[in-house]
Amino acid sequence: MIETNFIKLYESSFKENWDLNALTDLNESTSITYGEFAKEVAHLHILFEHMGINKKDKIALIGRNHTKWASVFIATITYGAVIVPILHDFHPDSMENIILHSDAKLIFIEKEIWKGLKKEKITQPVFEIPSCDMIRGKTTENSNLQTKVDEQFSFKYSNGFQPSDIKYARIRNDSVVCLNYTSGTTGFSKAVMLTANNYAGNIVFAQRLNLLFRGEKIVAFLPMAHAYGCAFDFLYALSAGVHIHLLGKNLTSQSLLDAFKNVQPNLIITVPLILEKIYQKKIQPIINKPIIHSLLQTPILKRIIYNKIRKTLVSALGGNFREIIVGGAALSKEAEDFLYKIKFPFTVGYGMTECAPLISYDNHQDFIPTSCGTVLEGIMQARIDSPYPDRDAGEIQVKGENVMKGYYKNPQATAAAFTDDGWLKTGDLGIMDHNNRLYIRGRIKTMLLGPNGQNIYPEEIEERLNNMPYVNESLIIKRKNRLVALVYPDFHEMEATDVSMNELEDIMNNNRLEVNTKLAMYEKIGYIELRKEEFEKTPKKSIKRFLYVEENIK
């Protein structure tokens, strides 16, 4: 167990950093201090009391990165309740399933997202963010609710809300504080039960590394409902007195570069897609010019050109960061090789939602290409299920402070996730050198990773597609960062209904469009590829998926 109490981190941080800027909404150009943020949290605590929320009750939170999203998250865990953050780009059906499965007692949601949900399925009180106005609830509850909360707040803090008033619930580190859903589709819902200790393990490790210092700045553009963005852009930064600049809407490459330029962050937490796009659009056009290619053959000129490219790239990303941490998926080998050659300050870490999320990390000065960091010393342990773990790839298995408690209401999935002697099975293939540095070599699990590190479960998409006309079997794979459906058609049905191959192609395209309406943006099928032969099967008649998966490396 981590000695540092997770909830105490915020009680201390808010007091010590009272007058410092805490969060800025870049889309709205509004900022609040740590003291103002703590006041919002106190308001929400009184609201929870009015709504009859008890410790360990679940509160669902659906929205993009925003100050109010942050305050609901922190208010929930410091009250002693359990937060259920739901990715804003989940399909509405998935959101509804998660709300039901999680047993949420309250829902906080963006109005635009609320419009897309089936209201008849929602029985809980619903509050809109960022206003926190009740938009669904009993009339008696809704009547002058905000006025009542304001009156009680004024009565409780009659001398004004002061640092000494920050006193949060006594929550043990072994308590579950978050249900983080890896998926929302019925039959596939898995809610990772993350404890205060899991988060504390990540934060204490980051503190040990001095990744950020009091008063420094960061741009939070990864969704904070995802474990990666939540742990480091948000929870760690908030515990360290850092000024978090939130970019939640209208996220484009240009808006992100503008944010970096204006904020000049001291650390950048990102996914591979960002660096890969910069490499493809900014660097490749330069180094592919014949004259530059020729100059790179001369060692002295090569160093000059590489230095120039590095300085230009650092400047484009704000010019003030010590390091860029890449996680969520593998960085392309081509981009990684070049960035390493020019001595760009980046590193690649490794983790998973079930570890809240970090398993391994190296400072950029210690980073070795193709690796994903050293197992967190004193926090995590790892082993390779292989006779020769430093040479022959086997499953990476881990244990330690960051490992989840299990899956909510899913004992079968929990049991399947662990070995008989208690190690978490990551589903990733890898090797580990004598310095405990990990190298990913592939995946055992069928899960694919979206462009921003989202979890994509092919079985969910296949289940929908297999119910469409003239589809006998299907298999979802990832090809050049697009999802492709391999389909073995129902030739018997085609013959019975006199459907030609030309007609079948039109039918399949309509199937694709229909299925895509039920999927999140990152899950949508790019195209369907028809097969003339059945998929090769195991003795149990399941498809030998590994024979067809082309890009299944984390």
Residue 554, pLDDT score:
38
- Please, what is the end-to-end C-alpha distance for the chain in angstroms? 29
Mean pLDDT of the 296-315 span: 94
Residue 551, pLDDT score:
42
Q: Rounded to two decimals, what is the model's pTM?
A: 0.84
Residue 441, pLDDT score:
81
pLDDT in tens, 483-526: 999 999 999 889 999 999 999 999 999 999 999 999 999 999 99
Kind plus residue range of the DSSP H or E element containing 104: strand 104-110
**Confidence category of residue 254, pLDDT binned at 50, 70, 90:** confident
Those residues with Cβ within 8 angstroms of residue 300's Cβ, 6 or more apart along the chain or in another chain: none
**Confidence category of residue 542, pLDDT binned at 50, 70, 90:** low
Residue 552, pLDDT score:
42
pLDDT in tens, 447-466: 787 877 777 878 889 888 98
* CB distance 41 to 74 below 8 Å: yes
Those residues with Cβ within 8 angstroms of residue 370's Cβ, 6 or more apart along the chain or in another chain: 333, 336, 439
**Confidence category of residue 98, pLDDT binned at 50, 70, 90:** very high
Closest CA to 209 of 291, 267, 157, 290: 267
Q: How far apart are CA 182 and CA 191, in angstroms?
A: 6
Identify the structural domains of the chain with CATH numbers, from first to last.
6-246 (3.40.50.12780), 267-319+322-443 (3.40.50.12780), 457-547 (3.30.300.30)
* CB distance 345 to 323 below 8 Å: yes
Q: In this structure, what is the dihedral angle of CA atoms 38, 216, 355, 548, given to the nearest 10 degrees?
A: 130
